[in-house]
C-alpha cells in the first residue's frame, strides 16, 4: 500500500482503499488478540522507518561512489559530503 508525500504542496496523498485495508488488517489483529492500529499511527511509523533507512542508504551510496575511486571514508565524512552537495544544489 503506497502513501505519497507531495513536497511541493505539503500534503500526504492516501489511496482510496487505504482505510478499508487498515480496517481489514485491524480485524485480523483483533481476531488473534492484538491491539488495532490507528491509520495515522501506521503512516507515522512507516515514515519514521523510511526516513531512518533513507539516511543509511544515502551514506552507503556515498561510500560506494568514493570506494570506486579506491578511497574509503567514514560515515561522518560521507554525511559532510552529502551536506556540501546539498548546499551546492540549493537544498537546505
pLDDT at 75: 67
Return the number of other C-beta atoms located less than 10 Å from residue 39's C-beta: 16
| Alpha helical stretches, state H, the chain | 18-31, 39-68, 75-89
pLDDT tens, residue by residue, 25-52 = 999 999 999 999 898 898 898 888 888 8
Whole-number mean pLDDT of the chain?
79
The pLDDT value recorded for residue 23 is 92
Residue 20: predicted pLDDT:
92
77 three-state secondary structure = helix
Q: What is the pTM of this model?
A: 0.53
Per the document, the length of the chain is 92
Q: What average pLDDT does the segment 14-28 reach?
A: 91
Q: Is the dihedral of CA 76, 82, 87, 92 positive or negative?
A: negative
Amino acid at each position: 500500500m503506497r502513501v505519497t508525500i507531495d513536497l511541493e504542496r505539503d500534503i500526504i496523498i492516501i489511496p482510496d482503499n487505504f482505510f478499508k485495508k487498515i480496517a481489514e488488517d485491524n480485524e485480523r489483529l483483533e481476531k488473534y488478540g492484538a491491539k488495532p492500529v490507528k491509520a495515522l499511527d501506521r503512516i507515522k511509523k512507516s515514515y519514521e522507518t523510511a526516513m531512518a533507512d533513507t539516511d543509511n542508504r544515502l551514506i552507503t551510496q556515498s561510500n560506494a561512489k568514493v570506494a570506486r575511486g579506491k578511497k574509503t571514508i567514514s560515515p561522518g565524512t560521507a554525511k559532510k559530503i552529502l551536506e556540501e552537495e546539498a548546499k551546492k544544489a540549493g537544498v537546505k
